[in-house]
Structure 1
Amino acid sequence: MNLKPTVYPFKARLINGTEKNLADYDGKVLLIVNTASGCGFTPQLKDLQQIRDEFSDQGFEILGFPSNDFGKQEPLDGKAINEFCEVNYGVQFPIFDKIMVRGKEAHPLFKFLADKKLNGNVTSTPRWNFHKYLINKKGEVVEYFFPFTKPTSSKVKKKIQRLLNEK
């Protein structure tokens, strides 16, 4: 029985309006990322899709959460965000509704991800777009990566592979 806090109690709305339970990802390794279409790091969407392609058959998924919290760099909404990601970067991983990822109005999931008192492991509030949280198969936050860490870096890929290899 897992007594550590997990992401599984949380729900979020997909970009198409469907509510998604994060418990649906039980048993998968996740990379949860706050995204934006107008950021210097936006090309990381292609890198994110690349690592998803590489690891998805082993039980890996990426969850993208657009946010306008930093420099107003996510001017798009809904369908326009999804189209931007698909057309420009070939994104096939789940994209959720635009949310706030920091401050009092932050989505409950991101409050959990950012605070060790809540998640039991790390404290790392997003300071910019493309902050990444790595979640193990049990739903526990185990690592975070700052925006300048490319998703395709050996550092990220080795940690993903290690988690995928765990029982």
Structure 2
Amino acid sequence: MTTVHDFSASTLDGQQLPLKAFAGKVLLIVNTASACGFTPQYEQLEALQRMLGPRGFAVLGFPCNQFGGQEPGTAQEIAEFCATKYDVTFPMFGKIDVNGDNALPLFTYLKDEKPGILGSKAIKWNFTKFLVDRSGKVVARHGSATTPQALIPEIERLL
């Protein structure tokens, strides 16, 4: 059976990172953007990472420029923005597509495992969140309007 741990992705610094490195952790996988109305969610994502990280939790951020061109920067610009504006310590990956023919295979898998409203698979906007249990199984999908803070009870049950 395929799990999130069977995939890998390039980090912002260009290193290939197998997601099996996160085996045994509860994950929140998020497509991010630096110039979006939901960008302030970085603050809550980082707060979750700091609060729950020591208990086996990790946020994984995947910048995406497919929604309104809201992530136009280079990898270095994204890294600098995340570090200086939000002091992000969780892993950030290279810019990806989440929809279409060039979608990162991980996101194709996430969408297949947890379709959205009325069974739609396409991600609608930045800051869509996928919650993954310790075994790598996708257990929930939340849209952009769901704040990271609102997910604490759900994450706590998986820890």
TM range (shorter): over 0.9
Count residues with an aligned counterpart. Answer: 154
Matched, 1:6 2:3: yes
Q: Partners in 1 of 2:56 and 2:83 — Cα distance?
A: 22
Match of 1:96 in 2: 93
Match of 1:150 in 2: 147
Deviation of 1:105 after TM superposition, in Å, equals: 1.2
Partner residue of 2:102 out of 86, 105, 116:
105
Match of 2:30 in 1: 33
Matched, 1:160 2:134: no
- In percent, how many aligned pairs have the same letter? 45
Partner residue of 1:24 out of 18, 21, 39:
21
Partner residue of 1:50 out of 36, 47, 66:
47
Structure 1 unmatched runs, 5+: 117-121
Q: Partners in 2 of 1:136 and 1:84 — Cα distance?
A: 29
Q: Partners in 1 of 2:17 and 2:72 — Cα distance?
A: 23
Code of the aligned partner of 1:146: G
How do 1:118-133 and structure 2 match up within 5 A? 122-124=114-116, 125-133=122-130
Structure 2 unmatched runs, 5+: 117-121
TM superposition score normalised by structure 2: 0.95
Code of the aligned partner of 2:155: I
Match of 1:119 in 2: none
Matched, 1:69 2:66: yes
Q: Partners in 2 of 1:105 and 1:157 — Cα distance?
A: 32
TM superposition score normalised by structure 1: 0.90
Deviation of 1:103 after TM superposition, in Å, equals: 1.3
Q: Partners in 1 of 2:101 and 2:48 — Cα distance?
A: 32
Deviation of 1:99 after TM superposition, in Å, equals: 0.3
Q: Partners in 2 of 1:102 and 1:38 — Cα distance?
A: 19
Code of the aligned partner of 1:160: I
Q: Partners in 1 of 2:102 and 2:14 — Cα distance?
A: 20
Match of 2:81 in 1: 84
Deviation of 1:5 after TM superposition, in Å, equals: 2.7
Deviation of 1:77 after TM superposition, in Å, equals: 1.2
Q: Partners in 1 of 2:129 and 2:2 — Cα distance?
A: 18
Report the RMSD for the aligned CA atoms in angstroms. Answer: 0.8
